[in-house]
Amino acid sequence: MILRRPFFWIILLVAAGFIYAPVHGNNVSLREDLILIAIAIILASNLNLMIGYTGYVNFGHIVFYGLGGYVGLYLTTARGWNLVLSALVAGVVVSVCAFLFGLAILRLRGAYFALATIGILQAVQAFVSNFDPWGRSTGMYLSFSSYQSLGGARHALWITYFLIIAVMTLSMIVSLAIKNSKFGLGLFAIREDEDAAVVLGVNATMYKAIIYSVSAFLPAVAGALMFFKNGMIDPSIAFEYMLSLEGIVMLMLGGQGSVIGAALGGSLYERLRSYLLTSPVLSNFHLVIAGGLLLMVVLFAPGGLIGWVYRLVPRARKVIE
Amino acid sequence: MSGVLASMIDGLLVGAVYGLAAMGLSLIWGVMDVINLTHGSMIALGMFCMYLLFAALKINAYVLLLPTIGAGLIIGLVVYWMAVHWVVGRSMLMSLLSTFAVNMMVIGIGTAVWSTSPYNVNFVLPGITVGAYTFTGNHIAAAISAVVIALALQLFLYHTRTGKAIRAVADNREAAELMGISSTVVLSIAFAIGIALACTSGALVSTLFPFTILSGGVYQLKSFVVTILAGLGKPFGALVAGVLLGLLEGVVTPFIAVSWIPLIEFGLFVVVLVAFPQGIFGKRAAA
């Protein structure tokens, strides 16, 4: 049972910390920092389901986040739905799309799949940029009245913050639960040797399509919440290719295949990026530094930070997964 | 109707440049099984290489292709020994990530040096006027240069010892090593040639359209489309597929808004990828 795993309680503790820290003293700037970290953790954790668990590189993971944002914002503004409901519906819609797409493109293996994900990202972005109901390339704006139902803007921002932390917690719990399930074992088998896995009775096509759609759900919900909080969305922000790729950097930095690795990589990279972007000397070079870091990790520590910890303290595997 | 024809011819000419860019990607992919994600930034470097050379020398831009090729070869060797050599033969993820890391660094340095504002190479060749339409000289010269370079590569691959060694390593690396071919040398040469092709195509694009340091990304994606259409490791097929892609752009441009073109291209890309994973011109083989 997942409740018996110590790491489950560690996740809850971290989530409690995320909620306590900014609420205590009503620290809004800390909240804004933490929200970016939470988004990074959500993206990296769900990407980990594809890259770390199943061994399929998804370059266009951000498409789920952006589409979720679009569906969510469309439902809250044009339809006047309640935030939680529209975020959930956005998640479901995007997951179903991902499942159907997944059945088609997951017949491809390895690099071919990776390239198809780039194609999907670009095609969806091009489609949304031309889609009239979603405001084409100028995007959509949230009307201020949408905040009223949540008790005014100030209140609404706190509520979205708590919801995003909930999504972050759920992302890590889902990762942990999948890792410790039979389904997860099937995914690992696909990662190690897909043909062998099929021979041993793993329904690879179905498994891959399911994990692809699972990895779409929470990022889509997070996208709906985040773009509601920002109050606007346009195709270049929603489907930012760079952010999609930075998700991979986060995952590699922390250690792919590990729940804590994805979370750690996400938060560290996000902190590093904020630091570099705001530093007057280094702001122009944040890509150079991030790239150099990634190259170092790939060449010298393919297991990432957590791989290094596991090597030093093998027993750590049992506690932090 | 003649407008469509003119647009098609223009598409053909630009398509030859797409093809040249894709040849670089396809060569590296076919020989060492590495998807070179530095491709886009190398195309951008080629553009700026041409810009700097032209600004300094002010001579015919198409003569400057020769030093650009040289610069591309050197850059290619540097990138190979920095990031690629250590990951050849390891899992695909590793080479994707290491080349992507180099891409980030090049784009980062480029943005710091040139910012993301547009540049252009101010060199115009006289065009050819047919009826109401004028084909600019630059488009024609770029297409001719692309085809000449592609033919030169074809001759090199099939009629020189090094070229044959490259094909042998692409075919079967172990067997080639047993025949006394040093695969390290061959791989580094093939990678350098691939990068040089990317730089050259970037230089050609810079004579046609304004560009920024980020423009390479667009052509990288087009190169992927073309490579997939052509099938892997078929450099000359890539040229043909590139021309086809240009033709397609030329045919649809008069009829629909330009902003829809990416959707058509990438939709086509995904469909071809799923339906013909070995490329339209490729042979059927185990994936």
Q: What is the mean pLDDT of chain B?
A: 85
Q: What is the ipTM of this complex?
A: 0.80
And the tokens for B160?
A: 């020189």
- Record: contact B104-A290, CB cut-off 8 A: yes
Q: Measured between CB atoms, does A285 come within 8 Å of chain B? A: yes
Say whether B277 and A112 touch across the interface (CB within 8 A): yes
Taking the CA of residue A285 and the nearest CA in chain B, the distance in Å comes to 6
Residues A176 and A180: their CA atoms lie apart, in Å, by 6
Quick one: angle between helices B65-79 and B183-206, nearest 10? 140
Rounded to a whole number of angstroms, the distance from the CA of A124 to the nearest CA of chain B is 7
Task: Give dist(CA B258, CA B249) in Å, integer.
Answer: 9
State the Cα–Cα distance between residues A129 and A137, nearest whole angstrom.
4
For residue B128, the cross-strand partners are B135
In total, the C-beta contacts within 8 angstroms joining chain A to chain B are 124
Q: Which residue of A has its CA nearest to B99?
A: A295
Q: Which amino acid is at A50?
A: M
Taking the CA of residue B259 and the nearest CA in chain A, the distance in Å comes to: 7
The percentage of chain B sitting over the pLDDT mark of 90, rounded to a whole number, equals 23
A138 touches chain B (CB under 8 A): no
Of A108, A122, A290, the CB nearest to B266: A122
Q: How confident is the model at residue B286 (pLDDT cuts 50, 70, 90)?
A: very low
- Asked if the C-beta of A82 comes within 8 angstroms of chain B's C-beta atoms, the answer is no
What's the pLDDT at B285? 43
B8 has a pLDDT exceeding 90: no
**What tokens does B37 get?**
């994600």
Residue scoring higher pLDDT (A294 or B68): B68
Residue of B nearest to A283 (CA): B112
| Ordered domains of chain B (ranges, CATH) | 2-275 (1.10.3470)
Taking the C-alpha atoms of residue A45 and residue A174, their distance in angstroms, rounded to an integer, is: 9
The CA distance from B146 to B140, in Å, is 10
- By C-alpha distance, the chain A residue nearest B113 is A284
Domain A2-319 has CATH 1.10.3470: yes
Q: In Å, how far are A58, A147, A228, A231 from A77, measured between CA atoms? A: 31, 10, 9, 10
The burial class, CB within 10 Å (0-12 / 13-18 / 19+), for B164 is middle
The Cα-based distances of B231 to B19, B42, B227 in angstroms read: 13, 22, 6
pLDDT in single tens digits along all 321 residues of chain A: 677 777 888 888 888 888 788 878 777 788 888 888 999 999 999 999 988 888 888 888 899 999 998 988 888 887 777 888 888 898 999 999 999 888 878 777 777 788 788 888 888 888 888 887 787 777 777 776 677 777 777 777 888 888 898 999 999 889 888 988 889 889 989 888 888 888 888 888 888 889 999 999 999 999 988 888 888 888 888 888 878 888 888 888 888 888 888 888 888 888 888 888 887 777 777 778 888 888 888 888 888 888 888 888 887 777 777
Left if phi > 0, otherwise alpha if psi is -120 to 50, otherwise beta: which for B157?
alpha
In contact, B44 and B26? CB cutoff 8 Å: no
Chain B partners of A55 at a C-beta cutoff of 8 Å?
93
Q: Which residues of A34-45 are buried (b: 16+ CB within 10 A; e: fewer)?
A: bbbbbbbbbbbb
B251 and chain A: CB distance < 8 Å anywhere? no
* pLDDT tens track for A216-248: 999 999 998 888 888 888 888 888 887 888 888
Q: Does A277 touch chain B (CB under 8 A)?
A: no
Query: What DSSP element (H or E) covers B21?
Result: helix B2-32
